[in-house]
Amino acid sequence: MKTKFLFLFFAFSFSNLSQSQTLINVYDNVLFYDGYAGLVSAPTEPNVVRLRNDLFTTKLTSDQLSQIGSTLRLDVLITAACDNYDRIGNVNLVLVPKNDATYNTSTALKIEMGRFITPFMNKNISPFSVPYTFTVDNVAKIMKDTAINSVYDFWVELEVFGVPYAANTQVAGCSGRNDVFYGTLDFVTNEQTTAIENNFLLPLNFKKDLNNYNVNATDVVGQTVRTINYSVPESINNASYYIITSNHGANAGGEEYNRRFHYIYHDTNLKLTYKPGELTCEPYRIYNTQGNGIYSPSPRTPGQWQSFSNWCPGAVIPIRTIALGTLAAGSHTFKIDVPTAVFANGEGYIPVSVYVQGENSTLSINDVVTYSYDMYPNPTSNTINISGTDIINSYQIIDSLGRVLVSYTYNTSNLSIDLSSYANGVYFLKMNFDKGTNTERIIKQ
């Protein structure tokens, strides 16, 4: 890993202005391999760990963290090897307990800082690389926060999934190879600033798939909706959601080629409505050098692109921000709903990442209670199921008048509760965990 200094010069009104920026190299041309194959044994640079063929991690040093200023830009460069299809990639920030030598990437506390789609590249045709840029000044606040730094180390993952099977026969020089892409990641920041003490961070969802056919991917099978419950013991000032979503599933009638309205709710209030996709994918045509992609031989109109393209191969996926103002102490919900989504043949997915960030000088991540479980189906006509990782010690069923109808003691992370004998209406499921109590609203119909 290297640290370099980048000086940018701007001309304005007959005078030259200069602004000093620091460039921190996090990954330098690391090589990704077949994401479906067993872990390769190819060597890596010192302090760079290959967790999977599609995933690298490295711990930021104290020297690197000291150079982070009040701004932060991620510069990613992906270079073609032997995958000539569009794939998903992302940059993740992992919060690992202080001085731990390693971590489990499946259970670690992390946020997604940026997501991108690779183009259809042929390694023999220029340009051989595609750049991606993400402005994440809010993440600089996380890295500069003294309270978070006292408890956690910051690790950075670079992830690019790829497979070489098509390129093995379609790209000259790729026969028999299983390497797919090269990746470089640089942090670009302004001059050093002092540490801060009032930043608040709460990861809510990291790349968890949303669809309408998997009981673990939706609140209600048949609907594309996910509700995330959380609570904060004190109010959070200047709070915001940071959200990344993209639709995948390359099948006829599926989500990859159809733009659907996405609705984001906070505490049942609609906060954001959007359709994914850009006005046109033409700016990325130059990077799509392999003829098997979605690009026709001649340019398409904006209307043509918008009729079938959820995202452009070679483009970044937007980071959507929802300002919440003051987040009051107590329980809250985040919900994403894509009501017209169609997952043809039970295929396709929408990976959703979201976290809350704001200001509070006394709270830490460990002070906030979140519950990791899925509840389905709701509404229900018979059974309500709870599936998760947190142990449920006991639960109660309470009617709309506040009367306790059922009270059971358990020691399980999975429940199946029969409501078939109950009258139609609204009920409440109160669950007691080791870390607190959470209540869900159930509709019996």
pLDDT at residue 364, rounded to an integer: 66
pLDDT at position 9 is 30
Question: Rounded CA gap, 201 and 112, in Å?
Answer: 13
End-to-end Cα, the chain, rounded Å: 59
E strand intervals along 41-140: 48-52, 55-59, 73-80, 88-97, 109-117, 129-135
Rounded Cα gap, residues 355 and 112, in angstroms:
9
E strands of 13-170, at which residues? 15-33, 48-52, 55-59, 73-80, 88-97, 109-117, 129-135, 152-160
Looking at the DSSP bridge assignments, the partners of residue 23 are 4, 188
pLDDT at 265: 97
Give the whole-angstrom CA distance, residue 46 versus residue 28: 11
Query: Residue 137 in contact with residue 70, Cβ under 8 Å?
Result: yes
Helix (H) or strand (E) holding 125: none
The dihedral built from the CA positions of residue 273, 277, 283 and 284, taken in this order, carries a sign that is positive
Cα-Cα-Cα-Cα dihedral sign, residues 135, 138, 139, 144: positive
Asked if 1-194 and 198-291+299-370 have one fold, the answer is yes
pLDDT per residue of the chain (445 residues) written in tens, 0 to 9: 433 333 333 333 333 323 588 999 999 999 999 999 999 999 999 999 999 999 999 999 999 999 999 999 999 999 999 999 999 999 999 999 999 999 999 889 999 999 999 999 999 999 999 999 999 999 999 999 998 999 999 999 999 999 999 999 999 999 999 999 999 999 999 976 777 888 999 999 999 999 998 877 888 889 999 999 888 889 999 999 999 999 998 666 678 888 999 999 999 999 999 999 999 999 999 999 998 888 999 999 999 999 988 999 999 999 999 999 999 998 899 999 999 998 888 889 999 999 999 998 776 666 666 666 778 888 888 888 888 777 888 888 888 777 888 888 877 878 888 888 888 888 888 888 877 777 787 888 8
Extract the tokens encoding 175.
């026969």
What would be the CATH architecture of the domain defined by 198-291+299-370? Sandwich (2.60)
What pLDDT is stored for residue 4 in this prediction? 33
Looking at residue 16, what is its pLDDT?
Answer: 32
pLDDT of residue 155: 98
pLDDT at 367: 64
Gap between the Cα atoms of 353 and 427, Å rounded? 30
Q: What is the pLDDT at residue 68?
A: 94
Yes or no: say if 392 and 410 are a contact pair by the CB < 8 Å rule: yes
Q: What is the pLDDT of residue 229?
A: 85
Spell out the domain ranges in the chain.
1-194, 198-291+299-370, 371-445
Instruction: Tell me how far apart the alpha carbons of residues 432 and 362 are, in angstroms, rounded to a whole number.
Output: 26
Q: What is the pTM of this model?
A: 0.82
How far is it, in rounded angstroms, from Cα 216 to Cα 219? 8
| Cα 11 to the center of its chain, rounded Å | 38
Residue 379, preceding peptide bond in cis (omega within 30° of 0) = yes
Q: Which CATH architecture has domain 371-445?
A: Sandwich (2.60)
Compute CA distances 85 → 54, 60, 170, 254, 285, whole Å: 15, 31, 11, 18, 14
CATH top class, domain 1-194 = mainly beta
